[in-house]
Structure 1
Amino acid sequence: MERSLETQVSQAVDAWLRWLPRWEPATHRGRIAPCRRCFGSPVLSAAGLGSDVPHGVQHGLSTRIKTIVDHAVAVYTSHNLPMLQAELDQQAERNRARSYRPAENLEPEFEGLPLDPDPVPGAPFLFTIAGMAQEADADVPDLPPLSPEAKAALRQEVGLADDYANMIGREICAILLRHRLRIQAGVTRYVEPQIAAMLDELTRSLDAPFGPGVDGADPA
């Protein structure tokens, strides 16, 4: 029996709250480009996770919600959009033929993120995970071309799928409004203390840039 959308959202928030105590602030260099999944997301706005919340915290929830939308659209497509479904089936079969699929079966907190860190100027990578995945993809034959009529019909079905995804997204945003209090409670309990500790550490390092015994340091 298919779970209701409200149940799915509630369970996604539950799963995110169970993960939240394991979140830790990133210590590596931040990325230059914003996350396309999270930046300006109406889902995160409905959940009350604004720009003052670390991206890792946001991403863990937005990815879980995206899974719900993707599943709903997949069911709608399989029942109503035969041409798009056939195209997706062919693409899925092509993907299964790839020998290297590093972006699959990731935890929600990492799904959709770039496979490689941002490059450092003057220090090029010997190889990248994304590059190896592209090499594996090049070994798989392309899908057969579509006729102009088939392309037009496919574009129409893609538009219908997009409209349905937007409708589901709006419903989910309305449901998330009812979970904002417990989402904020989780952030207050597990995220804000870690951010405060980082700020305290930064303040201490700025107030005392030199350690004991280093020139310029005031004697204790």
Structure 2
Amino acid sequence: MERSIETQVSQAVDAWLRWLPRWEPATHRGRIAPCRRCFGSPVLSAAGLGADVPHGVQHGLSTRIKTIVDHAVADYTSRNLPMLQAELDQQAARNRARSYRPAEGLDPEFEGLPLDPDPIPGAPFLFTLGGLAEEVDADIPALPPLSEEAKVALRQEVALADDYANMVGREVCTVLLHHRLRIQAAVSQYVEPQIAAMLEELTRSLDAPFDPNADPGLAEP
């Protein structure tokens, strides 16, 4: 029997809560471009994860919730939108023909993130994961072109799928509102102490920039 949206959201939040104690602040250089999945996400707003929460914490939950919406839309499409389903089936077969698929099979905390770090000016990469994947894509034949009538019909079905995704998304956000307290409690327990520790360490290093073991009071002018 298919699980309800409420059950799926509850299980996704449970899985995120089990993962959260393993989260640690990133120490590498941050990205310039915001995450398209998380920036301005109504899912994160419903969960109470604001801009003051680290992106890694946000992404782990938003990706799990997105999977619920994606599965619901996929089921709706398979039952009601034959042209769109045929197009998706062709694309899936094309994807399976790739010998190198670095973006597949990732944990929710990493799914949807860029494959490669932002480039450093003057220090080009010898190769990138994205570049290797593009080389493989170039060897796979493109999908057959559609007639104008087929394009119109396909756009109509895509619009229906988008409408259904928005409907499911609103339902998911409503359910998430009931989980806000335990989500925020977990952030207070596991995330905020680590952020506070980082800020304290930064304060100490600013007070004594040349000697991390020096007495902070000696750094005063």
The question of a shared fold, defined as TM-score above 0.5 by the shorter chain, is answered with yes
User: How far apart are the structure 2 equivalents of 1:33 and 1:212?
Assistant: 33
Q: Aligned residue for 2:64? A: 64
User: How far apart are the structure 2 equivalents of 1:68 and 1:23?
Assistant: 22
1:74, distance to aligned residue in structure 2 (A):
0.2
1:211, distance to aligned residue in structure 2 (A):
1.2
User: How far apart are the structure 1 equivalents of 2:213 and 2:195?
Assistant: 30
Q: Aligned residue for 1:185? A: 185
User: How far apart are the structure 1 equivalents of 2:163 and 2:213?
Assistant: 66
User: How far apart are the structure 2 equivalents of 1:140 and 1:16?
Assistant: 37
Q: Aligned residue for 2:167? A: 167
- Percent sequence identity is 85
User: How far apart are the structure 2 equivalents of 1:22 and 1:118?
Assistant: 25
User: How far apart are the structure 2 equivalents of 1:52 and 1:143?
Assistant: 43
Contact 2:205 2:212 in 1 (8 A): no
Q: Aligned residue for 1:156? A: 156
Whether 1:27 and 2:33 are equivalent positions in the alignment is no
User: How far apart are the structure 1 equivalents of 2:166 and 2:137?
Assistant: 30
User: How far apart are the structure 2 equivalents of 1:46 and 1:157?
Assistant: 28
RMSD: 1.4
Q: What pairs up with 1:99-114 in 2 under 5 angstroms?
A: 99-114=99-114
1:212, distance to aligned residue in structure 2 (A):
7.1
Q: What pairs up with 1:104-143 in 2 under 5 angstroms?
A: 104-143=104-143
Q: Secondary structure of the equivalent of 2:179? A: helix
Q: Secondary structure of the equivalent of 1:68? A: helix
Q: Aligned residue for 1:81? A: 81
User: How far apart are the structure 2 equivalents of 1:152 and 1:78?
Assistant: 19
User: How far apart are the structure 2 equivalents of 1:124 and 1:88?
Assistant: 36
Read off the aligned partner of 1:109 and give its amino acid letter.
Answer: E
**Aligned residues, how many?**
217
1:128, distance to aligned residue in structure 2 (A):
0.5
Contact 2:204 2:212 in 1 (8 A): no
User: How far apart are the structure 1 equivalents of 2:184 and 2:122?
Assistant: 42
Following TM superposition, where does structure 1 have runs of at least 4 consecutive aligned residues deviating by more than 4 angstroms? none
Read off the aligned partner of 2:48 and give its amino acid letter.
Answer: G
TM-score by length of 2: 0.96
User: How far apart are the structure 1 equivalents of 2:184 and 2:18?
Assistant: 14
Change (3 A) 1:212 1:111: closer
User: How far apart are the structure 2 equivalents of 1:151 and 1:213?
Assistant: 68
Change (3 A) 1:206 1:84: same
Whether 1:93 and 2:59 are equivalent positions in the alignment is no
Structure 2 residues not aligned, in runs of 5+: none
Q: Secondary structure of the equivalent of 2:178? A: helix
